[in-house]
Structure 1
Amino acid sequence: MKAAIPDVKPGRSLVSPDLFDRLVSRIVKERNTDRELAARIMDQALAFLGACACNHGTPLSPSPTVDIGWHTFLLHTKDYAEFCGQVAGRFLHHVPADENVERRDPAEVSRTTMEAIEAAGFVVDHELWDIGRRLCSQCFNGCADDPPPDPPPKDPKRR
Structure 2
Amino acid sequence: MRALIPEKLHDQLTARIQLDHPEHAHQADRILAQTLAFLLACAANPGLGLAPSKIVDVGWHTLILYTREYAEICQRIAGRMIHHRPDDDTADIGSCSPATRVGATVEAIRAAGLPVDVELWIPTSECSQCYAGCVDDPSGG
User: Which residue of structure 2 aligns with residue 56 of structure 1?
Assistant: 46
Change (3 A) 1:146 1:84: farther
Native 8 Å contact 1:28 1:38 kept in 2: yes
Please tell me the root mean square deviation across aligned C-alpha atoms, in Å.
2.2
Change (3 A) 1:145 1:120: farther
Which is worse superposed, 124-133 or 40-49? 124-133
Native 8 Å contact 2:49 2:138 kept in 1: no
User: Which residue of structure 2 aligns with residue 152 of structure 1?
Assistant: none
- Relative to total residues, which structure has the larger helix share, 1 or 2? 2
| Aligned-residue identity in percent | 42
Native 8 Å contact 2:37 2:114 kept in 1: yes
User: Helix, strand or coil: the match of 1:37?
Assistant: helix
User: Which residue of structure 2 aligns with residue 39 of structure 1?
Assistant: 29
User: Which residue of structure 2 aligns with residue 118 of structure 1?
Assistant: 110
Partners of 1:117 and 1:61 lie apart in 2 by 11
Cα offset for 1:72?
A: 0.1
Q: Given the two structures, how large is their TM-score scaled by the length of structure 1?
A: 0.76
- Relative to total residues, which structure has the larger strand share, 1 or 2? 2
User: Which residue of structure 2 aligns with residue 89 of structure 1?
Assistant: 79
Cα offset for 1:148?
A: 4.4
Partners of 1:100 and 1:47 lie apart in 2 by 24
Larger radius of gyration: 1
Corresponding position: 1:16 with 2:6: yes
For structure 1, the residue ranges without an aligned partner over 5 or more in a row are 1-10, 150-159
Partners of 1:130 and 1:71 lie apart in 2 by 19
User: Which residue of structure 1 aligns with residue 97 of structure 2?
Assistant: 105
